[in-house]
Amino acid sequence: MSFHLALVPRRTVTPLRQFLTPVAALLVAVLIGGAIVALMGKSPVTAFNVFIREPLTDPWAMQEVLLKATPLILIAIGLLFCFRASRWNIGAEGQFLLGGICGGGVAILTHGMSGFWILPLMLIAGAIGGLVYASIPALLRTRFGISEILTSLMLVYIAEFLLDYLVRGPWRDPKGYNFPQSVAFSDSAVLQPLFEGGRLHAGLVLALIAVAVAFVLFRRTLFGFAVSASGDAPRAANFAGFNESRITVLVFLISGALAGLAGVIEVSGQVGQLRPGFGQGLGFTAIIVAFLGRLSPVGAALSAIVIAVLLIGAESAQVTLKLPFDLTRFFMGLLLMCVLLGETLNRYRLEIRRDGA
Amino acid sequence: MIDTLPLIIATVMTAATPLLIAALGEHVVERAGILNLGVEGMMIVGAATGFAVAVLTDSSVVGLLAGALAGMALSALFGVMVVFFATNQVATGLALTILGLGLAGLIGQDFVGQPRAAIPPIEIPVLKDIPLLGKAIFTGDVVFFLSLILIVLVAFVLNRTRIGLLLRSVGENHVSAHALGLPVRKLRFWAILFGGLMAGLAGAYLSLIYTRFWSPGMSAGRGWIALALVVFAAGHVWRLVLGSYLFGGITVAQLHAQAGAIALPSQLLSALPYLMTIAALLVLSLSGRKGAGAAGSLGQPFVPER
Amino acid sequence: MSISSGKFASITLGAFALALGLASPAMAQEKLKVGFIYVGPVGDFGWSYQHDVGRKAIEAAFPGKVETTFIENVPEADSERSIEQLARTGHKLIFTTSFGYMEPTLKVAKKYPNVMFEHATGFKREKNVSTYSAKFHEGRFIIGKIAGKLTKSNTIGYVGSMPIPEVVAGINAFYLGAKSVNPDVKIKVAWAFDWFNPGKEGDAAKALMDQGADIITQHTDSPAPLQQAAARGKYAFGQASDMSKFAEKNILTSIIDNWAPYYVERTRAVLEGKWQSQDVFDGLAKGKVVMGPYVNMPDDVKKLAMETEEGIRTGKIDPFTCPIIAQDGKAVECKDGKLNDGQIASMNFYVQGIEGTIPK
């Protein structure tokens, strides 16, 4: 006689449960992580302080957390549209890079000039760059029926090679000793810090606007409804006047534009030049953020902060506890798994049944 | 040139073998309708564990085995989550990769910078003396020969056996497969375990045969290339083999061109595998095959109603 | 919150003090905190690993007086925060060990005028920012001579990493060394376009051997090219650290990055209050570049290698002694009978006799 596990859909999911699930997942992950830290012979309490408490209480660290969270929020908000509609855009990293390339390209071509128009032009160019790049997997899916999952991923690598080509070739800083990087942008092309002596820039404001707009779109508009519906019930979306292809293209364009915007903001506000590796995997981390936030705009903003806290905390942990960065990576994977399992428990009840019953 | 040809072919073969093995595993997984984006993570854990165990037991063969099993253990975690808890496959796969990269670093920590002797190559008598290509094809490492057996085995099982048929029907449409009384979840779980075994083996190949030491990040994106290869193959094992050797061949050809002082746009060549895969998908699609060879229910979660 | 550096004695207390926004003033036994930023994992057994060896040397040299910290895997594009993290937690001396940290180091240095920074391989300095680099090409000139003597096929394979001046200067020095003892020698270069990618580095070595190279040298960090050479019974050289154990019978020598003396010297300068901004570009003479044991070669070659090493160390031999003829046949501008440091540090041409072009 053997048993099997059955998932029984819940009829209703209370808001409290919806809120508590990711929190519980975070808690479980923290407990497992703490146990591992203890196994490595370090104090889990100190680790908790360094990883979580310090980044949330120290003003310098908080600013750094928000700075790190900015691109994550922007990309994740875009990804919500895709993921809610069950369109698996996992190539946000590539769209992010294209945004940086196009926006950074404007900065390089206008190098030495000054003017208030340079920054807005860069932002627009970045958003368009990401948007156009995201339209490729979308069109491949709608026109040719090719799964978007791997095409969007493969385009990430193509974008990396494009960036590499540009900074080694035409856009290389002529005075940069042949190192693969562009000139450092002029002041007019740099997003200036919001506070004197700090590093936080206006990108955060744009990210928060994106959160608010997405919130309203999903709550109040037919389009938002159609996007969410097309994931679970494509016919309902059709009924709302949005057929599958249209939804696919639209969610990809939104997601690409936001990732592109994040890219140019990162290049302008943080890096200050084009160079290989400016993507830092943020486009992939944003996927975790989107899921951690249970595909809601506010959730995405909060979970971007959680992830940023971890990343900043990981650095302090290296400094003060000599804990390797690999531990943080492991923990982030673990955290995402806990959240995904929580999601299942949110939607289903577990039942153990006897086979054949 | 004639006398170096076998050497060049041998180089291509070692470059292609880890890609091919990992891709064979993922191919089976995707035929069963599951997309596991965690190949890179399983591979690197296989590399770290394989090397660590080889050093501890002083046996590279035991290391290869341990690496494969480590990959499988990780895939079991993935399998339990996506098959039995119906979690999102894309997200779970990515989580597996991140977790794996971290885990591998922790496992390999104490083994950095340690050397390891080579496993002696296998030579097939008589056949290796065939002029020109004999030496290249019939002298190789143990895993290379294993990969040849695996190609045949995977193709045979998927296309010629009942279990293969069941697996494919589960992948094509899990709802009707379930209605027909097939054990959808059990079959998928086994397929995922096989995929993990292969990814782990491919990883151990990297740290024990391809280059004989452990270092963090040594898989260098090969898991993602394996995933691209599976797309390129669009359901056919022979195209998987072709793709792996083509990918391996391009890398080696590029290095040869440089050594011969021929200037080639290196970024374009490096991007070529991905461009080619997208092009191949386009051609397939234009020739009228909707979905370009992917299994019908690929990536969709399955929760049986009863 | 104002943080005055160097006031935290214990790590844990420091973390708590930070969290509470307090900096306790009277801490006994103030240790000098020295921080390091690494671009790779300390386990890369190459570049970052060797810097970490230097870090440990500081701890060994000043027991009880210093405390060292490192942050590994710091992406160059996002390094400003990591550097500042060290600066604001009381680190007085900070080594940023990759070229790409140049701009971020300068930015942080501006904010923390009382912290001293040392940036490896860069060219921009400030009052509190020094730059330092090593003349690895001196070692490459020596191994060039060894290879030129030992090659039978007159073809030597060179696995390149990134086509930047340091690497190009290394290729030129190697070739000039080889040619000085063997006029017929040719070198072939294959680029991995990566500092660390074992599989690709190994494949590059194989491709070079397939094209007739019987000696392999490398400017990438993993022991893979050396291993592949050994697997085919060819000779090769180690890079960054003494790689003998990876191919005992086939290694000729290694060019070792030895940051320890420099790091100890600079730490001492801070401890004694004598630290000043400077630009240091030295090699064998100051022990920043060290040659591994010369093995697996006949005595006369060994003697030649040791004489060359001694000559460079004492200044009698310079790898870039004029006339230096570039690939296009033109003589390179030359003042004191040899190329100056600036010319070497920005080298972007091949010398005459090397085939092919420097890739973009």
* Distance between CA atoms of residues C332 and C110, nearest Å: 38
Judged by CB atoms closer than 8 Å, whether chains meet at A348 and B303 is answered as yes
Q: Residue C136 — pLDDT band, cuts 50, 70, 90?
A: very high
Q: Which CATH number fits domain C137-257+292-345: 3.40.50.2300, 3.60.110.10, 3.40.1190.20, 1.10.1660.10?
A: 3.40.50.2300
What is the 8-class DSSP label of residue B161? Answer: S
Judged by CB atoms closer than 8 Å, whether chains meet at C77 and A271 is answered as yes
Percent of chain C at pLDDT above 90? 70
Choose between C109 and B140: higher pLDDT: C109
Is it the case that residue A175 has pLDDT exceeding 50? yes
Which residue carries 């501890």 as its tokens? B56
* Distance between CA atoms of residues A43 and A40, nearest Å: 9
Residues of C with CB under 8 A from a CB of A: 1, 3, 11-12, 14-16, 18-19, 21, 35, 41, 69-73, 75-78, 80-82, 84-86, 88-89, 99-100, 103, 111, 123, 162-165, 168, 345-346, 348, 360
* Distance between CA atoms of residues A64 and B254, nearest Å: 42
3-state SS, one letter per residue, for A163-200 = HHHHHHCCCCCCCCCCCCCCCCCCHHHCCCECCCCCCC
B261 touches chain C (CB under 8 A): yes
* Distance between CA atoms of residues A256 and A284, nearest Å: 13
pLDDT, tens digit, for every residue of C267-317? Answer: 999 999 999 999 999 999 999 999 999 999 999 999 999 999 999 999 999
User: Which pLDDT does position C13 carry in this prediction?
Assistant: 36
Handedness of CA B161, B240, B92, B292 (dihedral sign): negative
A36–chain C nearest CA distance, Å = 19
pLDDT, tens digit, for every residue of A318-347? Answer: 888 888 888 988 998 999 999 999 988 888
Note the helical H segments in chain C: 11-20, 47-61, 80-88, 102-111, 136-150, 165-181, 198-210, 224-231, 260-271, 299-314, 341-345
A275 touches chain C (CB under 8 A): yes
Is it the case that residue A356 has pLDDT exceeding 60? no
Judged by CB atoms closer than 8 Å, whether chains meet at A320 and C168 is answered as no
Where along chain A do its domains lie?
67-286
Locate the chain C residue with the closest alpha carbon to B222. Answer: C199
Q: Residue C14 — pLDDT band, cuts 50, 70, 90?
A: very low
- Determine how β-strand C279-282 pairs with β-strand C155-160: unpaired
Is it the case that residue C10 has pLDDT exceeding 70? no
Return the SS3 of A277: coil
Handedness of CA B256, B259, B265, B267 (dihedral sign): positive
Judged by CB atoms closer than 8 Å, whether chains meet at A59 and C81 is answered as no
Using a CB-CB cut-off of 8 Å, the residues of chain C touching B258 are: 189-191, 207, 356, 359
* Distance between CA atoms of residues B194 and B189, nearest Å: 9
- The verdict on residue B91 lying in a domain is yes
Locate the chain C residue with the closest alpha carbon to B5. Answer: C210
User: Which pLDDT does position B123 carry in this prediction?
Assistant: 76
pLDDT, tens digit, for every residue of A154-163? Answer: 899 999 999 9
Which residues of chain B fall below pLDDT 50?
none
Q: Which CATH number fits domain C11-135+259-286: 3.90.950.10, 3.40.50.1820, 3.40.50.2300, 3.40.640.10?
A: 3.40.50.2300
The mean pLDDT value of chain A amounts to 89
Long-range contacts of C242-246 (CB under 8 A, 24+ apart): C242/C292, C242/C293, C243/C292, C244/C292, C244/C293, C244/C295, C245/B115, C246/B115, C246/B213
Q: Which of C3, C15, C77 sits opposite A49 (nearest CB)?
A: C15
For the record, the structure tokens of B98 come out as 């991140």
User: Which pLDDT does position B112 carry in this prediction?
Assistant: 82
Greatest Cα pair distance, chain C, in angstroms, is 70
Q: Show the beta-strand stretches assigned E in chain A.
A: 3-9, 348-354
Using a CB-CB cut-off of 8 Å, the residues of chain A touching C76 are: 275, 277
- Angle made by CA atoms A282, A288, A289, in degrees to the nearest 5: 80
8 Å CB contact between C153 and C213: yes
User: Which pLDDT does position C145 carry in this prediction?
Assistant: 97
Q: Which of B211, B216, B261 sits opposite C199 (nearest CB)?
A: B211
- Tell me the angle at which helices A203-220 and A222-232 cross, rounded to the nearest 10 degrees: 80
For the record, the structure tokens of C151 come out as 């090659």
Taking residues A23-27, report their average pLDDT: 88
Is it the case that residue C217 has pLDDT exceeding 60? yes
B210–chain A nearest CA distance, Å = 24
The Cβ-side half-sphere exposure at C276, using a 13 Å CA radius, reads: 2
User: Mutate which of B99, B222, B230, B254 to test chain A, going by most A C-beta atoms within 10 A?
Assistant: B99
Q: Residue C23 — pLDDT band, cuts 50, 70, 90?
A: very low
User: Which pLDDT does position C116 carry in this prediction?
Assistant: 97
B235: left (phi over 0), alpha (psi -120 to 50) or beta: left
A53–chain B nearest CA distance, Å = 23
Is it the case that residue C113 has pLDDT exceeding 90? yes
Amino acid at C292: G
**Which has the closest alpha carbon to C263: C68, C98, C87?**
C68
Radius of gyration of chain B (CA): 20
Judged by CB atoms closer than 8 Å, whether chains meet at A146 and B77 is answered as no
Q: What subunits make at least 3 CB pairs under 8 angstroms with A?
A: B, C
Using a CB-CB cut-off of 8 Å, the residues of chain B touching A82 are: none
pLDDT, tens digit, for every residue of A51-85? Answer: 888 888 888 889 999 999 999 999 999 999 999 99
The mean pLDDT value of chain C amounts to 88
* Distance between CA atoms of residues A155 and A149, nearest Å: 10
Q: What subunits make at least 3 CB pairs under 8 angstroms with C?
A: A, B
User: Mutate which of A326, A327, A353 to test chain B, going by most B C-beta atoms within 10 A?
Assistant: A326
- Determine how β-strand A3-9 pairs with β-strand A348-354: antiparallel
Taking residues C250-270, report their average pLDDT: 95
CATH number of the domain bearing residue B51:
1.10.3470
* Distance between CA atoms of residues A52 and A49, nearest Å: 6
Judged by CB atoms closer than 8 Å, whether chains meet at A320 and C345 is answered as no
CA A49 centroid distance within chain: 25
A280 Cβ partners below 8 Å, 6+ apart?
A: C75, C77, C78
What are the angstrom distances between the C-alpha of B162 and each of A149, B34, B159, B167? 30, 19, 8, 9
Is it the case that residue C18 has pLDDT exceeding 60? no
Locate the chain B residue with the closest alpha carbon to A334. Answer: B99
What are the angstrom distances between the C-alpha of A311 and each of A316, A328, A329, A332? 9, 8, 9, 9
pLDDT, tens digit, for every residue of A217-264? Answer: 999 998 888 888 887 777 776 777 778 889 999 999 999 999 999 999
For the record, the structure tokens of C316 come out as 């009698």
B128 touches chain C (CB under 8 A): no
Locate the chain A residue with the closest alpha carbon to B229. Answer: A150
8 Å CB contact between A191 and A58: no
Judged by CB atoms closer than 8 Å, whether chains meet at A333 and B228 is answered as no
Where along chain C do its domains lie?
11-135+259-286, 137-257+292-345
Judged by CB atoms closer than 8 Å, whether chains meet at A320 and C348 is answered as no
- Fold agreement (C11-135+259-286, C137-257+292-345): yes
Locate the chain A residue with the closest alpha carbon to B105. Answer: A326
Judged by CB atoms closer than 8 Å, whether chains meet at C78 and A180 is answered as no
* Distance between CA atoms of residues C299 and A10, nearest Å: 82
- The verdict on residue B9 lying in a domain is yes
Note the helical H segments in B32-120: 39-57, 60-79, 89-108
**Which has the closest alpha carbon to C111: A198, A188, A60, A185?**
A198
Amino acid at A120: P
User: Which pLDDT does position C9 carry in this prediction?
Assistant: 34
| Model confidence, pTM | 0.89
Is it the case that residue C7 has pLDDT exceeding 80? no
Using a CB-CB cut-off of 8 Å, the residues of chain C touching A57 are: 19
- Determine how β-strand C251-257 pairs with β-strand C235-240: parallel
CA B133 centroid distance within chain: 25
Judged by CB atoms closer than 8 Å, whether chains meet at B227 and A153 is answered as yes
Q: What subunits make at least 3 CB pairs under 8 angstroms with B?
A: A, C
User: Which pLDDT does position C12 carry in this prediction?
Assistant: 35
A323: left (phi over 0), alpha (psi -120 to 50) or beta: beta
- The verdict on residue B121 lying in a domain is no
User: Which pLDDT does position C273 carry in this prediction?
Assistant: 93
Judged by CB atoms closer than 8 Å, whether chains meet at A331 and B102 is answered as yes
- The range of the structural domain enclosing residue B100 comes to 5-111+141-293
The number of C-beta contacts closer than 8 angstroms across A and B is 149
* Distance between CA atoms of residues C112 and C107, nearest Å: 9
Locate the chain C residue with the closest alpha carbon to A320. Answer: C11
Using a CB-CB cut-off of 8 Å, the residues of chain B touching A341 are: 81, 85, 87
Taking residues A301-305, report their average pLDDT: 94
Taking residues C64-77, report their average pLDDT: 90
Q: Residue A355 — pLDDT band, cuts 50, 70, 90?
A: low
Phi, psi for residue C219 in degrees, rounded to 5: -120, 30
When divided into structural domains, chain B yields a total of 1
